[in-house]
């Protein structure tokens, strides 16, 4: 016959077994054998709007570039070679001004009859060694797959604009702004673009004949902005 002193020992063993069962419950309170909780997905990071440009900077600014730029660029015109960023023939006279946001130009019709810039036939060669359709000041995100109307320059008149790669345009989320990536970055990656070349083949219709004017530019130096 069991001793009366063994009863407290049996009760203690039963309590220890109960506590051991509670400790084996998975974290979070789920019972053994239950399906694990679903992990909440991590949303992707928002785009860095600081790397985008609206339109392009004023071509008459003394120093082209954003106020927060870490680097400034110096350019040279390598085709056709010109220290003044100019070129002319009997029909047209060009002046260019490269900038980090876009390539500015002014063209003068030297004859007394109209000419047209054929945007759809023109090509931009970007500093990342890509090429594609040209966008200019009035081009918007919705125009990416549309036929761009040619621009007429009447006789003995000048026309000013800027150009950039069509592929650089970014969806402006319902606004009518021209939102795009800069032609050249002004952040810590800027030095990587030293010696890079870019340019444009502008196609003109002159006396009902297409004529291509090719221009190329080089990043001659990338200079840190003093702080």
Q: Average pLDDT, stretch 102-109?
A: 98
Q: What is the DSSP letter of 19?
A: H
Looking at residue 75, its pLDDT comes to: 98
Looking at residue 54, its pLDDT comes to: 87
* pLDDT tens digits for range 11-35: 444 444 444 444 444 444 445 555 5
Residue 103 has pLDDT above 90, yes or no: yes
- Cβ(220)–Cβ(74) below 8 Å: yes
* pLDDT tens digits for range 185-206: 999 999 999 999 999 999 999 9
Looking at residue 153, its pLDDT comes to: 98
Q: Average pLDDT, stretch 139-164?
A: 97
- Cβ(199)–Cβ(216) below 8 Å: yes
Residue 153 or 23, more confident: 153
Question: Would you say the pTM of this structure is higher than 0.85?
Answer: no
- Helix (H/G/I), strand (E/B), else coil: 153: strand
- Cβ(115)–Cβ(205) below 8 Å: yes
């Amino acid at each position: 016959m069991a001793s009366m002193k063994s009863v407290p020992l049996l009760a203690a063993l039963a309590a220890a077994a109960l506590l051991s069962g509670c400790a084996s419950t998975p974290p979070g309170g789920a019972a053994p054998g239950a399906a694990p909780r679903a992990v909440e997905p991590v949303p992707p990071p928002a785009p860095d709007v600081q790397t985008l440009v609206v339109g392009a900077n004023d071509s008459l600014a003394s120093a082209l570039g954003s106020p927060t730029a870490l680097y400034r660029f110096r350019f040279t015109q390598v085709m056709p070679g010109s220290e003044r960023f100019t070129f002319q023939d009997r029909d047209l006279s060009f002046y260019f001004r490269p900038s980090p946001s876009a390539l500015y130009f002014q063209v003068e019709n030297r004859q007394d009859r109209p000419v047209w810039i054929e945007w759809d036939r023109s090509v931009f060669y970007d500093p990342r060694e890509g090429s594609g359709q040209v966008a200019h000041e009035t081009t918007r995100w919705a125009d990416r797959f549309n036929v761009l109307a040619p621009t007429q320059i009447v006789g003995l008149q000048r026309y000013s604009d800027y150009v950039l790669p069509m592929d650089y345009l970014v969806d402006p989320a319902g606004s009518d702004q021209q939102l795009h990536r800069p032609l050249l970055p002004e952040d810590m990656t800027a030095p990587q673009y030293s010696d890079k070349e870019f340019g444009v083949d502008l196609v003109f219709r002159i006396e009902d004949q297409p004529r291509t004017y090719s221009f190329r530019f080089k990043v001659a130096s990338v200079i840190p902005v003093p702080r």
